């Protein structure tokens, strides 16, 4: 028995085609029986398993042998004009995942960050998500009566859950967390957008593998993971599919997807 159902022949959009976005793109056409998949990234070239690939070539690879139309769009999520044009071109979005995010100057003490460090993180991580919602609403691009949206509120190959690896990243993501928690009911009642969020722990991606400090921190996280191993894209995909299901009865929830890493560790000492 499959307890979750989805709308067939729908259109999905993934904003941010990094490690997580790539995994979703490679699987959701079959999982959802999609009519169209729109892949959106700021870069014309992306790192796919350590190989620099054009976004359009990646989209073509996904479309090959599939009945799903896969379209690549290079868009700056900070730009109202570019995001508005994106949604004017692609209407009827049923499923949305926003994974775009940047982490300026990781492993830098908060007092050493510049104004540009903090503002640039907020522009992509917070304003970018807000802008996508705004333009999707104003162009009438979101499917009615309901669009399922999932926003990644915290994750990076170099930023952990300790709140000390990238202050600019964490501060901007804190604003995004409040956007979900405080505005989600409004978005559902007013615009039919069901928003939820995911907060994964760090993933081991190509960028982290090239940085000795980042690789060391990831190993430390893995060593302390109650379920063993690190969070990987399949865990995030499973959580996204839960939030995208017609049976999902959640609005404004943020699901921590971290194998128990951030949960309290009781220290009892010697017990009789």
Residue 108 lies in a domain: yes
pLDDT value at 161 more than 50: no
pLDDT-based confidence at residue 75 (cuts at 50, 70, 90): very high
Give yes or no for a contact between 148 and 248, defined as CB atoms under 8 angstroms apart.
Answer: yes
pLDDT-based confidence at residue 7 (cuts at 50, 70, 90): very high
Residue 1 lies in a domain: no
Which residues, other chains included, contact 234 with Cβ-Cβ below 8 Å and sequence gap of 6+? 23
Burial environment of residue 30 by CB neighbours within 10 A (0 to 12, 13 to 18, 19 or more): exposed
Residue with tokens 């990094």: 18
**What CATH number did the domain enclosing 116 receive?**
3.40.50.720
Q: What angle do CA 173, 27, 121 make, to 5 degrees?
A: 15
Residue 34 lies in a domain: yes
Which residues, other chains included, contact 182 with Cβ-Cβ below 8 Å and sequence gap of 6+? 252
Cα radius of gyration (the chain): 19
pLDDT for 206 equals 61
Please write the tens of the pLDDT for every residue from 20-53. 999 999 999 999 999 999 999 999 999 998 899 9
| Predicted structure pTM score | 0.92
Residue 134 lies in a domain: yes
Structural domain for 104, as ranges: 11-257
Q: Specify the long-range contacts of residues 51-56, CB closer than 8 Å, at least 24 apart.
A: 55/17
Residue 265 lies in a domain: no
Residue 126 lies in a domain: yes
Say how many domains are in the chain: 1
Please write the tens of the pLDDT for every residue from 162-183. 444 678 888 898 899 999 999 9
Residue 272 lies in a domain: no
Give yes or no for a contact between 153 and 254, defined as CB atoms under 8 angstroms apart.
Answer: yes
Taking residue 49's Cβ as centre, other Cβ atoms within 10 Å add up to 9
Residue 151 lies in a domain: yes
């Amino acid at each position: 028995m499959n307890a979750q159902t989805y709308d067939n022949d729908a259109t999905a959009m993934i904003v941010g085609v990094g490690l997580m976005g790539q995994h979703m793109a490679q699987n959701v056409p079959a999982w959802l029986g999609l009519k169209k998949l729109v892949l959106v990234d700021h870069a014309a070239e992306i790192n796919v398993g350590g190989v620099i690939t054009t976004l359009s070539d990646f989209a073509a690879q996904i479309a090959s042998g599939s009945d799903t139309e896969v379209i690549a769009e290079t868009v700056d999520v900070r730009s109202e004009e570019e995001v508005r044009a994106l949604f004017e071109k692609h209407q009827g979005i049923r499923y949305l995942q926003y994974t775009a995010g940047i982490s300026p100057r990781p492993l830098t003490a908060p007092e050493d960050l510049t104004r540009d460090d903090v503002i640039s993180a907020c522009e992509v991580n917070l304003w970018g998500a807000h802008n996508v919602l705004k333009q999707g609403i104003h162009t009438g691009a979101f499917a009615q009566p309901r669009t399922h949206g999932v926003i990644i509120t915290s994750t990076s190959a170099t930023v952990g859950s300790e709140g000390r690896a990238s202050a600019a990243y964490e501060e901007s993501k804190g604003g995004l967390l409040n956007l979900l928690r405080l505005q989600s009911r409004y978005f559902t009642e007013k615009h039919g957008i069901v928003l939820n969020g995911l907060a994964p722990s760090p993933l081991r991606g190509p960028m982290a593998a090239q940085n000795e400090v980042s690789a060391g921190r990831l190993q430390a996280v893995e060593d302390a993971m109650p379920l063993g191993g690190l969070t990987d894209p399949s865990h995030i995909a499973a959580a996204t599919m839960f939030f995208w299901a017609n049976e999902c009865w959640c609005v404004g929830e943020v699901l921590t997807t971290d194998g128990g890493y951030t949960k309290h560790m009781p220290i009892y000492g010697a017990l009789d």
